Structure 1
Amino acid sequence: MNRYSKLSMLAIAVAAATMGVSAQAQDKVLNLYSARHYQTDEVMYDTFTRTTGIKINRVDADDAGIVARLRAEGAASPADVILLVDAARLAVADSQGLFQPIKSAKLDAAIPANLRAAATPDGVTWTGFSTRARVIVYDPARVKAEDVATYEQLADPKLKGMVCTRSGSHPYNLSLFATVVERLGDQKGEAWLKGVVDNMARAPKGGDTDQIKGVASGECAVAVTNTYYVARLIKSDKAEDQAVMNKVRVSFPNQGTSGTHVNIAGAAVAKYAKNRDNAIQFMEFLSSPFAQDYFANGNNEFPAVKGLKIDNPAISKMGGDNFKAETVPLGVVAKNMTKVQQMMDRVGYK
């Protein structure tokens, strides 16, 4: 072999080695687009990296910003895993073809089927990893507990002029309404929405915390909110927040029937994920008891894993330790979103 041949062979060997190092480095990376912005999640991510050697590169934005970025990047997107808050938002992103289905025996065993997208022969496109309940907050001086024991009672004329909500089109409400319509059917569901509108104390506005404060101030007597907003006020060291919670009570609706509506924070593998195996490994890690503790308690939520309980005094104080949760599949509910939005337009729900 002459000198030039030896140099050529050396160049090929170096190139091969370099490609191998690049491939190895690629194997140790996970690009995460997250709509969750909680400091407790940092410990969870750091633990994943320490135990697997996979470095997480994170992009933080709100749900709408992440979806817009994915659409703009297309096939060039570096995203491997997408974390979004609310089943409606996950469903919208899924309908736009931004996720890919995966198969995982670990996730199938850990996460209830009703907290995931509907399964197909190719797998599941998104999975819930924490849940929050949508509860009724009421003023016990004006409303009896038995009058707000179900979502259906929000349309009862007995509550005329007493109900406050945020926008009906907000994903938190849209998911709840789509679930009620799934249970009641289209005709009764639309009539129920009309009844809720008729019972409004004022036009929908503000966020969930505003609804709780509206009940405490007397602006209304009944409101709907996610449990973690209640927990934040319970944990607050501000006197005004404690004053709010002293004036309201919490009802976990439909305990005697279908159970209280729950929604999710969830994740999916991006359609064009370059590190697919790492993405699935991360998804499976999120279902571990360790990650579930951080994933749920980071926002005063509940774990999604079957049978797993998280100790949270604020949740206990509001009566959320052992409530009955509904089992209507969120993947099915997601398909009702457009139909329910049209119903709300017809009944004047802003």
Structure 2
Amino acid sequence: MPIHAVNDFVIRFANVNGSGSASANLLFARSIMRMGVPIAPRNIFPSNIQGLPTWYEVRVSEQGRLGARGGADILVAMNPQTFIQDIAAIEPGGYLFYDSTRPMPPSALRDDLTVIGMPLTEICAAEYDDPRQRQLYKNIVYVGALAALLDIDVAVMEKLAAETFKGKERLLEANRRALNIGFDQAKARFNCPLGIRVRRSDAVGERILVEGNFAAGLGAVYGGATVCAWYPITPSTSLAEAFERNCARFRIDPATGKKNFAFVQAEDEIAAIGIAVGAGWNGARAFTTTSGPGISLMQEFFGLAYFAEIPVVVFDVQRGGPSTGMPTRTQQSDLLLCAFASHGDTKHVLLLPDGPGEAFEFTVSAFDLAERLQTPIFVMLDLD
């Protein structure tokens, strides 16, 4: 029996890394939110080079549930390499949408699924001459098809595309065309909508769609931070970049053009914490952002800051490790490492946000606590 659900389902996109799917999947997620229905999207992107698997999952929940539910009600299967494992994760009665230009292996199919095959590659080959365009716009075509299948207002998607490509009329028109190709093709081929659908609501309220790292980077600006010293490491780099981006908006003197912040990419993690501690010593609100391997390297400076009573904030975006293959998997393995950092009688304050909202709020509090207690404060984040 096919699943029937309104504003309460999980959709998973199984893509190939480097195929240009990320922006298309985000467009899909944002369009549901624009229809007034809360969403909780999450990237599942292993530390891969181009051509290997990546996933994007959206939990649609009018009740505003944010946690990963497990399983998927509808799968958009765009990566033949992972067909079998992806299809196995679909809930009984769920829906499988795939590019039927390439036949689905019989061993991957299940009798309890509704299979929706659409020849995306064939459609794009007929519409576009350039091979790269065929690949990129295939993603937008399947988003347009999902709009028809799930009863999403395609005009909402067009408006989002217009905002994304403002001032780039050529790109806007190309994306709008691809959306409508997918929408019209799905309408012509299938009975739309499916048992799963999106209905306009007013349940989003004042919420915005934001990543935890971006929220923390913005929180550092609101918390009075003026110095960020960091060394690139997955998955914490975007936090430092968010701080710089927001400082460029809020921390440049409009009269003189002078930057009222320092943003330093150090030569390694040890130098990064050293710069941050030095800035704290001199009275600035300073921080560094890293992940577990960086925390391991920074231990001596944590001890110096602790015993010398120097305020500094450390963001630890936790991950598996230590190197290529595991780093982007979610893990919360650094709690004891940070709570008893350094090499002696130390006990540090740890703040553990439960999501992007608290990532912003706890970041602001971290700088206040560091100054009040004159000690390092750790903000513990992770991929989810």
Judge same fold: TM > 0.5, yes or no.
Answer: no
More helix by share: 1
More strand by share: 2
TM-score, L = length of structure 2: 0.27
TM-score, L = length of structure 1: 0.30
